[in-house]
Amino acid sequence: MNALRLLLCRPTSGLHDIFRQIERVCHYAQQADRIIIVETNCQSTKFFKDDFANYFVSRQPELRLTSTEFSHLFDEMDVYPGHIFGRVNSYMAEFDFSIAAFVETDTKQLLTFDFTKNYSEQLLVHHCGGGPGNAVAGISRVRLHDSIVDILIKRLRIIGSAYTAIHVRNTDYKTAYEEKIEKLKDQIQGPIFIATDDRDVLDFCRSAFGHDRVFSFSKLPTEAGEPLHMGNNTIDNYRRNADAIVDLVMLSLSSHFYFFPLSDNRFGAKYSGYAIFANRLRIFPSILSQLISRCDQAIDRLLPIYR
C-alpha cells in the first residue's frame, strides 16, 4: 500500500461535467505519476449513482473507472485534503453556491486540491462538478461498454436512415422551445430524433412534425422536475444513465443537429452543457468511431470514412 499514489476523482453533475473532470485529473495525474480512480457511485453524490465501468471501458491502464480495487484502502491512507482523513468513504458533500464548489458538509472545507502543486500524500481527492476541462479529450480516453453499443445499434436500426436531431433541456434549466420548433417544421426532412428531459417537449415535437417521423427512446418521468442525471428520481439508475449516454452519441451521429439557448438562469448558462458536448463531438468523427469501437451497418452509414 505504501507505494500506491492515487487520485480519486468524484465527478458530479451530468456527462459533460464528468468528462471535463476526468480529463482534468488525467492531465494532472500523468505529470504526478498517479493512478486515477473515477468513482461515480460514492456515498456523497446524488448524480449518476452507478459504477462508470458499467457503461465505459478505459483505454488507459492508469485510468480506472471503478473504485472496487482500492476503496477498502481509502480510509487508511494519508489523504489531501486532510480534513477527510479516515472518512473518505463516509464524508458527505454539499455545493456551496458562494464559492461555486463542493465542500464537506461538517467542516465546510473544500474537497479538492491545487492542480499546480505536487503532493506527498498517497491519496488525493477531487470532488467537483463544472469548472475547466475538455470533455471531448476526456471521452477519448474511454470506449463504450459492449452493452451500451448494443443499445445504440438497436435504436439506430429502428430509425433506419440518416436523421436530424433536436435537443431540448427543460427541467432545472428552461428553454423557450415552442416557437423555435415551429420555425423548423418546414425545414426538416426525414426522420427526427428528439433528446429531452421533458415529456411535454416530446409531445410538442410529435404534434409539430408528425408522430411517425419523431423518434425518442429515453424513459422520461411523467412530470418534468429534476434533471435526469440526478440519482433520486423514479427511473432506475442503469436505464437513466444508459439512455443519457446513448442519446449523447445519437445526437453526435445525426446529419443535422439543433439545440437552443436556455432561458435566464442563476448560473448564467447560455446553453446546455450536454448539447454543447454532443455538438463538439460531431466535429471529431474519429473520436466517435473510437468511442463506439464496433463495425455495424447502422453505424457505418453514419461514420463511413472511419470504417
Note the pTM of the prediction, 2 decimals. 0.92
- Of the chain, the percentage scoring pLDDT greater than 90 comes to 83
Confidence at residue 111, expressed as pLDDT on a 0 to 100 scale = 97
Residue 8, helix vs strand vs coil? strand
Task: Give the model's confidence band at 307: pLDDT under 50 very low, under 70 low, under 90 confident, else very high.
Answer: very low
| Closest to 173 in 3D by CA, of 81, 104, 251, 268 | 268
pLDDT at position 95 over 60: yes
> CA-based diameter of the chain, in Å?
65
**Residue 284 included in any domain:** yes
**Residue 255 included in any domain:** yes
Question: Domain ends where: 136, 170, 188?
Answer: 136
**Residue 207 included in any domain:** yes
* Number of domains into which the chain is organized: 2
Whether 160 and 213 share a structural domain? yes
Distance of CA 209 to the CA centre of its chain: 29
| Closest to 274 in 3D by CA, of 150, 142, 175, 178 | 175
Contacts of 211 (CB under 8 A, 6+ apart): none
Burial class (CB in 10 A: 0-12, 13-18, 19+), 3: exposed
Q: Which residue has the higher pLDDT, 36 or 133?
A: 36
**Residue 203 included in any domain:** yes
Whether 100 and 227 share a structural domain? no
Buried b (16+ CB within 10 A) or exposed e, 64-94: bbbbeebeebbeebebbbebbbeebbebebe
**Residue 237 included in any domain:** yes
**Residue 1 included in any domain:** no
Question: Domain ends where: 136, 164, 189?
Answer: 136
Q: State the CB neighbour count (10 A cutoff) for residue 1.
A: 8
Q: The domain that contains 261 carries what CATH number?
A: 3.40.50
Whether 23 and 129 share a structural domain? yes
Whether 85 and 190 share a structural domain? no
Q: What is the pLDDT of residues 152-188, one digit of tens each?
A: 999 999 999 999 999 999 988 899 999 999 999 989 9
Whether 95 and 177 share a structural domain? no
CA distance 49 to 43: 9
pLDDT at position 82 over 60: yes
Whether 10 and 152 share a structural domain? no
Confidence at residue 1, expressed as pLDDT on a 0 to 100 scale = 47
Residues 19 and 47: beta-carbon distance below 8 Å: no
Residues 159 and 245: beta-carbon distance below 8 Å: no
CA distance 307 to 142: 19
Q: Which residue has the higher pLDDT, 229 or 191?
A: 191
Please, what is the average pLDDT of the chain?
A: 92
Domain around 119: 6-136
| Residues shown for the chain | 307
**Residue 276 included in any domain:** yes
Q: What is the pLDDT of residues 253-295, one digit of tens each?
A: 999 999 999 988 877 889 999 999 999 999 999 999 999 999 9
CA distance 255 to 257: 7
Whether 160 and 56 share a structural domain? no
Question: Domain ends where: 86, 111, 136?
Answer: 136
Whether 68 and 94 share a structural domain? yes
Q: Which residue has the higher pLDDT, 129 or 67?
A: 67
Whether 174 and 280 share a structural domain? yes
Whether 132 and 201 share a structural domain? no
Whether 30 and 156 share a structural domain? no
Confidence at residue 221, expressed as pLDDT on a 0 to 100 scale = 64
Task: Give the model's confidence band at 305: pLDDT under 50 very low, under 70 low, under 90 confident, else very high.
Answer: low
CA distance 26 to 37: 10
Strands lying side by side in the sheet with 164-168: 214-215, 192-196, 164-168, 256-259
Residue that has been written with the C-alpha cell 480534513 in this structure? 83
Burial class (CB in 10 A: 0-12, 13-18, 19+), 265: exposed
**Residue 88 included in any domain:** yes
| CA distances, 261 to each of 174, 193, 208, 306 (Å) | 9, 19, 20, 32
Whether 132 and 171 share a structural domain? no
Q: Are strands 101-104 and 214-215 parallel, antiparallel or unpaired?
A: unpaired
CA distance 138 to 125: 18
